[in-house]
Structure 1
Amino acid sequence: MMTSAKREAAPANGRRLILFGAFDRHNFGDLLLARCAAAGARTDIVFTGLAARDLRKFGGFHTLALADAIAAFGSEDADFVHVGGELLTTTAWEAAVMLQSPSDTARIVALHDRSPDARTAWARSVLGTTRRIPYIVAQDDLPTRWRTHFRAVGGVAFDTLPGAERNEILRALRTATTLSVRDRTTFDALRHAGVDTDLLPDPAAATPALFGATIGQRGQGGEIAALRSRMRSWAAVQLAAEWGDDATLDRVAGSLLATSAASGTGIVLYRAGLAPWHDDLDTLRRLADRLGAQRPVAILESAHVLDIFALLAEACAYVGTSLHGWIVAHAFKVPARCLVRGPADKAARYTDTWCDVPRQWRTPEDGPLFPETISG
């Protein structure tokens, strides 16, 4: 076992900063983590992922595929930083599907989902790597002048992975220069496996300090300003597509209407991710239909990171399945609840680790969905 935790340290001057993560697809949390990692850093930053993408129109970055980054900068001194999120347990199959267009997802799943071998072969062909956990890269698999870092990563399902996947992850972590995780479950699992690590909050918890002025400016125009002219206050609500069954939507709508009427607030629905297996506009429209005309209701069409920031920062409450929605709202002192399917969910494990009042999440069976402190 390591004798001491690998303490977080800023990359040394003179070394290129290479940020690596799942910001090669649209998800609020991953794009936010990239912005947090880049905030205050020097200008020679390279954003890398499993695929080349340009998400600047959503407040993200122009991202290079890892192989291209190695070809371009492999001869330089560099710090290679794994940027947050649930990177430790995202499998190759999951990563490859989430890099596809939403319109292709159903066809791809239908072709490969019943055969583990077919899934593996297809994912390897898409990603160009045989790594089972592709967003984790060991020091030995990178240029010799690069140093690896893991910054507040998550992996609450680590103990449920097959042995080959766990061994691949442990090999990468044991060669890292610095290592920190964001929740107690991951921390305990790694310690049990013989890896010493720091326990740090998700970087998004620093959103007000990092981006407060930018968020305030963004909220003066566009959809946020239009919402402010329509509603005295609002509850920000987000649901992943997997929560789009009729029974769940009926229950959420009933709780929304009751809370909104009692507190005098409007309701604004938004999407936290456009990538496959994230959010779906049709789910929000079906929820809005259930709300009817009884309360002021709107759907935020924008999926730009700064518009989501501003929506959450100005909300009187947040309820949703997005962990980073909860983290940002909580950071702005907005009463917040994270909806989960059970206590093993990553959001439940994270909020139980860091929240002063435990159980800032709710399952569909837990009763009222909304924080008791909502007020307009």
Structure 2
Amino acid sequence: MNDIILYGAFDRHNYGDLLFPLIMQRVINREYPEKRVEVSGLIDSDLSEFGAPKTISINKALKRAKKDAAIILAGGDIVACNWQSAYGYLLPTTIHPLYERLTWRLPKLTDYLVSRKVGLTSCFPFNLNKKDAGENRRIIYNSVGATSVSNLKDTKDIAYLSEMINNADYVTVRDHFSQKNLQNISVPSVEIAPDSATVMSTYISVEELTEKTSSSTHSILNKFKHGFIVFQISQAHVKGNTEKFAREIEKLYEELQLPVLFVAIGKAAGHNDIAGVKNIMSMLNSNVIYDSYLDGSIFDLMNIIRNSSCYCGTSLHGLITSMSFAVPRVALLPKLRKQINYMKTWDLPHMPKGINPEELVSAVKIATSTSNEDLELLSQKLTKTYMESFKKLTEFIS
């Protein structure tokens, strides 16, 4: 019988989603070593080859947990995430486009069928009703995102979500935009706390990172030991900008003489980076020194970003990793609300965000001009702020 269920989108291969249970288990084990923790997703999964904890399905977890267990929604943009999207991200990337086309016409039917397949009755997969969660179980939202709330149009969905969040035992969101979205659906008193992955540099030592980093990644880090730029972009977001980014990366290399390491942070359907970075690499001229890391191990990616001179990308958790390890960063593309909203809430004011291709060179120069002291102080401040928020959970999980 388990005391705590960590629940979220931990069953898909996406860097940020795999970070949450890894970090949260460590935080809970250090603060509450007597508690037994179960990691749960929509389905059973085993992504341990990438450094992630295994998951059991939420249906199984609810059946075997204590009747007064705490359910912690451990992070991610999960408020108002619908069944159609949540299940679609679990499908093979070859099937996902067809699934989207078929389900787009019948979203409500899709939501109903998928939720019943998973074994739940809740209108949204990560916003559980008491019928699913259990009457005596406490529900905690831990520094989650609520970006999708602004997309809701159905009054019944809005009323349901408002009721579920208001009935939760404790709620924190990770940025001001999420806070405002919840206020707009009559959820008045929601606190803000940094993303839980913020504390990774405290809970994962350099020694552990070094030990768990693959030999091939160590070879790249050794080759680029005098500095390098990390560049990441998803396939969906690079469309229309591939050649522009290639030309700007050439300029960046020419001016800074820093090699570029292209990384794939997401492999799940809808989050795939591999095609995006490969397309850019194919357009680079022969003068640019670069390499790529496309395997997707949590520890490899963390160590790559930790050792880099600057991280440039569309991944929120690539940015959060750089914030945790005091690495300069550049958030790409102005249309990506989630990344921009988070940085506006927590990052240094001058750190570049919403950057178009033609702004890349100047943005990297601005980011890398930041003093190490300022980067370190911010990392320490965010860790302290998150832990102060986490400790408020004591009355709900003790």
User: Is the TM-score greater than 0.5?
Assistant: yes
Aligned to 2:219: 226
**How large is the RMSD of aligned CA atoms in angstroms?**
2.3
Figure out how many residues of one structure are paired with residues of the other and give that number.
359
Q: Is the 8 A contact 2:199 2:324 kept in 1?
A: yes
Alignment of 1:154-193 (within 5 A): 154-162=145-153, 163-192=155-184, 193=186
Letter in 1 for 2:300: D
Larger helix share, 1 or 2:
2
Residues in 1 aligned to 2:147 and 2:11: alpha-carbon distance in whole angstroms? 22
Letter in 1 for 2:77: E
Distance 1:119-1:139 versus aligned 2 partners, 3 A rule: closer
TM superposition shift of 1:223? 2.4
Letter in 2 for 1:81: I
Percent same amino acid at aligned positions? 20
Residues in 2 aligned to 1:120 and 1:141: alpha-carbon distance in whole angstroms? 16
Distance 1:131-1:138 versus aligned 2 partners, 3 A rule: closer
Distance 1:157-1:225 versus aligned 2 partners, 3 A rule: same
In structure 1, runs of 5+ residues without a counterpart are: 1-13
Distance 1:114-1:140 versus aligned 2 partners, 3 A rule: closer
For 1:345, which of 337, 346, 366 is the aligned residue?
A: 337
Q: In the alignment, does 2:263 pair up with 1:276? A: no
Q: Is the 8 A contact 1:223 1:300 kept in 2?
A: no
Distance 1:33-1:314 versus aligned 2 partners, 3 A rule: same
Distance 1:125-1:291 versus aligned 2 partners, 3 A rule: farther
Residues in 1 aligned to 2:63 and 2:156: alpha-carbon distance in whole angstroms? 28
SS at match of 1:289: helix
For 2:349, which of 349, 354, 357 is the aligned residue?
A: 357
**Displacement over 6 Å in runs of 4+:** none
TM superposition shift of 1:98? 0.4
Residues in 1 aligned to 2:96 and 2:79: alpha-carbon distance in whole angstroms? 23
Alignment of 1:89-168 (within 5 A): 89-124=80-115, 126-162=117-153, 163-168=155-160
Aligned to 1:289: 282
Letter in 2 for 1:100: L
Aligned to 1:10: none
After TM superposition, the score normalised by the length of structure 2 is 0.83
SS at match of 2:96: helix
Distance 1:294-1:164 versus aligned 2 partners, 3 A rule: farther
After TM superposition, the score normalised by the length of structure 1 is 0.88
In structure 2, runs of 5+ residues without a counterpart are: 370-398
Letter in 2 for 1:367: E
Distance 1:15-1:61 versus aligned 2 partners, 3 A rule: closer
For 2:234, which of 224, 240, 250 is the aligned residue?
A: 240
Residues in 2 aligned to 1:260 and 1:236: alpha-carbon distance in whole angstroms? 12
1:87-133 CA-to-partner distances (Å, cap 9, x unmatched) read 00311111111011112112322333334355435534543434332
SS at match of 1:51: coil
TM superposition shift of 1:310? 0.3
1:274-295 CA-to-partner distances (Å, cap 9, x unmatched) read 1100024222221111124312
Aligned to 2:76: 85
SS at match of 2:360: coil
Residues in 2 aligned to 1:128 and 1:94: alpha-carbon distance in whole angstroms? 17
Residues in 2 aligned to 1:355 and 1:362: alpha-carbon distance in whole angstroms? 13
Letter in 1 for 2:81: T
Residues in 1 aligned to 2:73 and 2:191: alpha-carbon distance in whole angstroms? 15
TM superposition shift of 1:203? 1.2
Q: Is the 8 A contact 2:121 2:132 kept in 1?
A: no
Residues in 1 aligned to 2:84 and 2:253: alpha-carbon distance in whole angstroms? 40
1:177-206 CA-to-partner distances (Å, cap 9, x unmatched) read 211110001112323413312110111121
Aligned to 1:207: 200
TM superposition shift of 1:215? 5.2
Residues in 2 aligned to 1:349 and 1:319: alpha-carbon distance in whole angstroms? 17
